[in-house]
Amino acid sequence: MGGSDGSGGSGLVVHDLSVGYGPVRALRQVSLEVPEGAVVTVLGGNGAGKSTLLRAVCRTLSFHGGAVTGGTVSLNGRRLDGLSPDRVVAAGVSQIPEGRRVFARMTVADNLRAGALGATGGRTGRAAALRRVHELFPVLADRAQQRAGLLSGGEQQMLAVGRGLMATPRILLLDEPSLGLAPLMAERIADTVREINAQGTSILLVEQNAALALRLASRAYVLEVGEVTLSGPADELAASDEVRRRYLGVVDEDAAADAEGARTTHPALTRWKG
């Protein structure tokens, strides 16, 4: 199972976090931990609050009309709530937003340079970060002077991840990295996530592809309508009937047989048979 046990430090701690968009409660007293060096995943369907959670950690909620109404967020004992988004980046948190939001008209090289704007470490640190990105994604070195908008979907996802790594984060927040990618490319991104984690970066992964996420993570949380309803070791959640049914596409065989019987005997449904 991916990730470590996180015994090397306190990592990211979200405690009783509540978020609202005006009168709408989006998160209700959500608590989770990403131990230092671990991969932790948050599962849930559309509207569960997964992206809201990442925005709350990164302090970008206000850009989307949201606000934290309660709770705390800290990284290695340092409070992040109250910091500006650029100070959160400087503290060691990088988010890769959903949808591969690269700067389409800028070159690959300029996209990567933009990712280093909030980083500490100076020119030497930026050069080391760029070497790391090019080792992980050689295609980004090959396409350095190409406009980002001309890359394939998979290459744009690589660029989005690489841009996040340019800030040399302690923790990377990944929002739906496999979304819209062919299965083979999704697996390549997953392999890269493993490699990034093996190099010492903690990862909080939000992903609708539950099977992929549970293979990568050491611990998982299930978020439903803004609340954590299940949490535990990823392998235990992967084996639970509820997660298998709701997120892994494994159906109850007896219920499936009953449904099949109804489908084949009901006159209105017989045309769909076979």
- For residue 206, the model assigns a pLDDT of 93
pLDDT tops 50 at residue 90: yes
CA angle 12, 16, 19 (to 5 degrees): 100
Tell me the sheet residues that pair with 242.
Answer: none
Instruction: Give the model's confidence band at 253: pLDDT under 50 very low, under 70 low, under 90 confident, else very high.
Output: low
Give the pLDDT of residue 131: 95
Q: Which residue blocks in 14-152 are alpha helix, DSSP H?
A: 50-58, 85-91, 108-115, 122-136, 138-142
Where do runs of H (alpha helix) occur along the chain? 50-58, 85-91, 108-115, 122-136, 138-142, 153-165, 183-198, 210-216, 234-239, 241-247, 253-265
State the pairing for strand pair 12-21/24-34.
antiparallel
Q: Residue 147: phi, psi to the nearest 5?
A: -65, 140
Mean per-residue pLDDT of the chain? 86
Q: Which residue has the higher pLDDT, 72 or 189?
A: 72
Taking 70 as the threshold, does the pLDDT of residue 61 lie above it?
yes
pLDDT digits (tens, 9 = 90+) for 140-196: 999 999 999 999 988 999 999 999 999 999 999 999 888 888 888 889 889 999 999
Handedness of CA 194, 195, 201, 207 (dihedral sign): negative
**Alpha-carbon span 197 to 60, nearest angstrom:** 24
The dotted CATH code for 12-92+169-239 is: 3.40.50.300
The ranges assigned to domains in the chain are 12-92+169-239, 102-160
pTM for the model stands at 0.84
Residue 52 has pLDDT above 80, yes or no: yes
Residue 3 scores a pLDDT above 50:
no
Give the pLDDT confidence of 101-137 residue by residue, as tens digits: 889 999 999 999 998 876 666 778 889 999 999 999 9
Determine which helix (DSSP H) or strand (DSSP E) holds 73, and give its type and residue range: strand 67-75
